[in-house]
Amino acid sequence: MKIRSVEFSGTMVDPGAAFFGDLPQVAFAGRSNVGKSSLINVLLGRTRKKLAHVSGEPGKTRGLNFYRVNGKFYLVDLPGAGFARVPSEVRAGFKVLVEGYLERRDGPRAVVHLIDIRRGPTDYDLDMLDYLSGRGLPTLVVLTKTDKLSHEKRTKAVPEQIRALGLDPDQVVPFSSKTGEGRELLLEALEYLLEPQEE
38/56: higher pLDDT: 38
Nearest Cα neighbor of 16 from 97, 92, 109 is: 97
| pLDDT confidence of residue 54 | 52
Instruction: Write down the pLDDT at residue 96.
Output: 86
Per residue in 162-184, pLDDT tens? 999 999 999 999 999 999 999 99
Instruction: Give 32's contacts (C-beta < 8 A, 6+ positions apart).
Output: 58, 59, 60, 80, 81, 82, 83, 84
33: left (phi over 0), alpha (psi -120 to 50) or beta: left
Average pLDDT over residues 178-198: 89
pLDDT-derived band of residue 104, with 50, 70 and 90 as boundaries? Answer: very high
pLDDT of residue 92: 65
DSSP bridge pairs for 116: 144
Domain 6-14+23-193 = CATH 3.40.50.300: yes
φ, ψ of residue 87 in degrees (nearest 5)? -60, 155
Taking Cα atoms as reference points, which of 193, 185, 29 lies closest to residue 97? 29
Residue 55's pLDDT is 47
**How many other C-beta atoms can be found within 10 angstroms of the C-beta atom of residue 153?**
13
Average pLDDT over residues 41-45: 92
Q: Which pLDDT score, from 0 to 100, does residue 196 have?
A: 72
By mean pLDDT, which of 1-10, 38-47, 128-137 is the weakest? Answer: 38-47
Q: What is the mean pLDDT of residues 125-152?
A: 94
pLDDT reported for residue 83: 47
CA 82 – CA 51 distance, rounded (Å): 23
- Residue 61 in this model has a pLDDT that exceeds 80: no
Q: State pLDDT tens for residues 126-136.
A: 999 999 999 99
Taking the C-alpha atoms of residue 137 and residue 131, their distance in angstroms, rounded to an integer, is 9
Residue 100 has pLDDT above 80, yes or no: yes
> What is the per-residue pLDDT across 26-42, written as a single tens digit (0 to 9) for each?
999 998 889 999 999 99
